[in-house]
Amino acid sequence: MTKHIIGFYFAGGKELTHEVEGNEDTTQLISNIQKHRFYNMVKNDAHYVVDTEKAAYFSVTEVNE
């Protein structure tokens, strides 16, 4: 399993990030985010639906432990 931090960044300096663990590599995660307008994520006890078209940009960073 590989860990990644996915971050969405919006106008005005707002950002939303979370950590995911799975079998996808960084390229696959980027491709999946680009294919879908909405991205579902859970951070702590909150569930978010991110409109990827409203984000200024997003990032996917592999976490090496």
**Per-residue tens of pLDDT for the chain, all 65 residues:** 899 999 999 999 999 999 999 899 999 999 999 999 999 998 889 999 999 999 999 999 999 87
Q: Residue 1: what pLDDT?
A: 87
Q: Residue 30: what pLDDT?
A: 94
Using a cut of 0.85, tell me whether the model's pTM lies above it.
yes
Q: CA-CA distance, 59 to 30, in Å (whole number)?
A: 8
Q: Residue 44: what pLDDT?
A: 87
Q: Is the dihedral of CA 9, 52, 16, 62 positive or negative?
A: negative
Q: Residue 36: what pLDDT?
A: 94
Residue 11 phi, psi (nearest 5) = -55, 150
